[in-house]
Amino acid sequence: MSKTSRKKWDYHDIAQWGPGRHELGATIPVSGTADDYDTGGWRSERPLRDREKCNDCMICFFACPDSSVIVEDGKMATIDLKHCKGCGICAQVCPRDAIELKNEIIARKLEEE
Ligand code: SF4
Ligand code: SF4
């Protein structure tokens, strides 16, 4: 679904909403919109993979709740940092301790070096 066709919530009378309307705040009106938002900005820690330790077992791919482990040709290619939220599940499940979570600011500096 494109951004233009996505249903918009009607907030015009939000000041008058009573308890009966609050459940709307927890409603996801349409599915499959994750690609429209760069949710990686929420991240405070970034997963960094040690290529030497990784054997491309793909366990992190199946465990990632944000589909942020990118696979190419049957191998773990990279992590989609536009959507990865830094939850650390990939690091927890990795049987080879190949993923380490680093403070986001420190990780960016390391990347620049
Ligand atoms: S779980 Fe660990 S070893 Fe397996 S693909 Fe992911 S980083 Fe590599
Ligand atoms: S930190 Fe969380 S969101 Fe990011 S790649 Fe790992 S499991 Fe996915």
Domains of the chain plus CATH, in order, are 40-112 (3.30.70.20)
> What are 49-106's pLDDT values in tens digits?
999 999 999 999 999 998 999 999 999 999 999 999 999 999 999 999 999 999 999 9
Q: Which of 51, 64, 73, 99 for a ligand 1 pocket mutation test, highest count of atoms within 8 Å of Cβ?
A: 99
Is residue 78 within 8 A of residue 17, CB to CB? The reply is no
> What are 1-39's pLDDT values in tens digits?
444 555 566 778 777 777 676 555 556 667 777 777 788
pTM > 0.85: yes or no: no
C-alpha distances in angstroms, 70 versus 29, 75, 106?
27, 8, 23
Q: What is the per-residue pLDDT for 1? A: 46
Q: What is the per-residue pLDDT for 85? A: 93
Pocket of ligand 2 (CB under 6 A): 47, 64, 66, 68-69, 79, 84-90
